[in-house]
Chain A
Amino acid sequence: MYYIEQTVTSFIASAAFGMIFNAPKKALWQCGLAGMVGWVLYIWLQDVGVQKLAATVVAAYCVTMISYFFAKKYRKPIIVFSVSGIIPLVPGGLAYDAMRSAVENQYDQAVQSGAVAFMMSGAIALGLLLSEVTNQVIRKIRASKTT
């Protein structure tokens, strides 16, 4: 039940984000799908006992790989699909905690939450980087096969 709830809401949220960013109508389904897979993977990995950071890397990687696939298939720029999928992974909650602690004059906690939020952003970047590398490798292999 919990997973169904998460699947449905993450799909709707990602598709809604696609609309806010003015994605073409036909691409909204794919936006939702990319976001859904990323998010469900993220919470599932955490349930299995994977660290939050590692889960973020894997989820960001998968979102971008799926977006590459869609970009190739539908001949659209990749950001059309990847942006709304990445958004749920952005560490908004941690940034909020950092802000709240700072307001409450608990600077040690603020710095702590801020550092974790920063690391999470780094993890998203790493996921994007890895998928870029994978994509380049695939392209190289394909190119060498055809020649």
Chain B
Amino acid sequence: MEDSVREEREIMKICLLAGQIMLQSGAETYRVEDTMMRIASSYGIDHTHSYMTPTGIIFSLEDPQPMTRLNRITERTTNLYKIDRVNTLSRKISQGGMSIGEAYRELQEIDRTRAIYPLWLNVLMAAVASGCFLIMFQGTWFDFIPAMLAGGIGYYCSVLLHRLIPVKFFAEFSGALMIGLCAVLFVKYGFGHARDIIVISSVMPLVPGLLITNAIRDLMAGHLVSGLSKGAEAFITSFAIGAGIAFMLSFQ
């Protein structure tokens, strides 16, 4: 009895850690639930219940002894790499290839890994994406470099501020503000032509794309609370971006 309860506690720890990593990295709710249930059932616990919102997980195991834990999620980022790794791990576990200790160690290692690409590369990619979006939105090649600069500076600014000030929507706001400022200055001094297109394409890296798709997918899967709260987060983030741009334009 004592042993089985201890084992149950270990399984609980693994499930919660896996769920936490996935939620923090921005996975869909149904995938997190599915992963946790699958891990539990491959270690022999079939009756599980989980409930989660973007800010917390409640997970309960039924046998051999009822046990419920709550895990609070505060910080959420986008890290598809971690989601993929936990997904692969859960597949390995359900094929029966891993002991509880091994799985826990590997999860801890996944939890510790930071972003796989360095910050400068992210900023560079944001700049490149902004430039490409400019062409996609029927801009001219003359504005390519200004859009790249504005997009890169804006993205860097929002990442940096996000680290310095843990107020959620302020980073996006000031990123958008920087983009607006850059675009206005570039156009004023003849470095760029079409201010509107430069702004639109440079803002794209700040758009909460993962939140938007996840909100829809969660709602479709019947996770109404998660879907609505992710939708609200996406809406407020977009609003913060819009407000930053509008703030800059109103000074024109």
Contact = CB atoms under 8 A, between A and B. Distances in A.
Interface string A69-91: 00000011101101110111010
Interface stretch (B60-68, B77-85, B101-109): B77-85
Contact of A20 (B126, B214, B217): B126
Nearest to A43: B136
Given A21-B80, A24-B84, A10 B132 contact: yes
A95 interface: yes
A39 B138 CA distance: 13
Most buried by A among B78, B205, B220, B242: B242
Nearest to A87: B209
Interface residues of A, number: 45
A25 B83 CA distance: 14
Contact of B128 (A12, A23, A24): A12
A6 interface: yes
Interface string A10-43: 1011001111111111010000000000010000
Nearest to B252: A103
Most buried by A among B79, B209, B250: B209
Given A16-B125, A19-B122, A84-B209, A103 B80 contact: no
A119 B236 CA distance: 18
B200 to A, nearest CB: 5
A1 to B, nearest CB: 12
Given A23-B80, A39-B136, A77-B83, A99 B245 contact: yes
B209 A83 contact: yes
A93 interface: yes
A92 B200 contact: yes
Contact of B136 (A13, A19, A23, A124): A13
Given A17-B209, A124-B216, A77 B203 contact: no
Contacts of B82: 22
B83 A80 contact: yes
Given A21-B78, A79-B80, A83-B80, A95 B122 contact: no
Q: Report whether over half of chain A's contact residues are helix, strand or loop; otherwise say mixed.
A: helix
Contacts of B27: 77, 79
B220 A79 contact: no
A39 B204 CA distance: 15
Contacts of A98: 242
Contacts of A21: 78-80, 209-210
Interface in B214-230: 214, 216-217, 220
B78 A96 contact: no
B249 interface: yes
A54 interface: no
B246 A132 contact: no
Which 9 pairs show the lowest CB-CB distances between chains A and B? A13-B132, A16-B129, A9-B132, A16-B125, A87-B209, A9-B135, A99-B242, A23-B80, A19-B125
25 contacts: A6-B136, A9-B132, A9-B133, A13-B128, A13-B132, A13-B133, A16-B126, A20-B205, A22-B82, A24-B116, A77-B27, A79-B83, A83-B80, A86-B213, A87-B209, A88-B133, A92-B200, A92-B203, A92-B204, A93-B200, A96-B203, A100-B249, A103-B250, A124-B216, A129-B216
Interface of B: 26-28, 31, 78-84, 87-88, 91, 115-117, 121-122, 125-126, 128-129, 132-133, 135-137, 155, 196, 199-200, 203-205, 207, 209-210, 212-214, 216-217, 220, 238, 242-243, 245-246, 249-250
Interface of A: 5-6, 9-10, 12-13, 16-25, 27, 39, 75-77, 79-80, 82-84, 86-88, 90, 92-93, 95-96, 98-100, 102-103, 121, 124-125, 128-129, 132
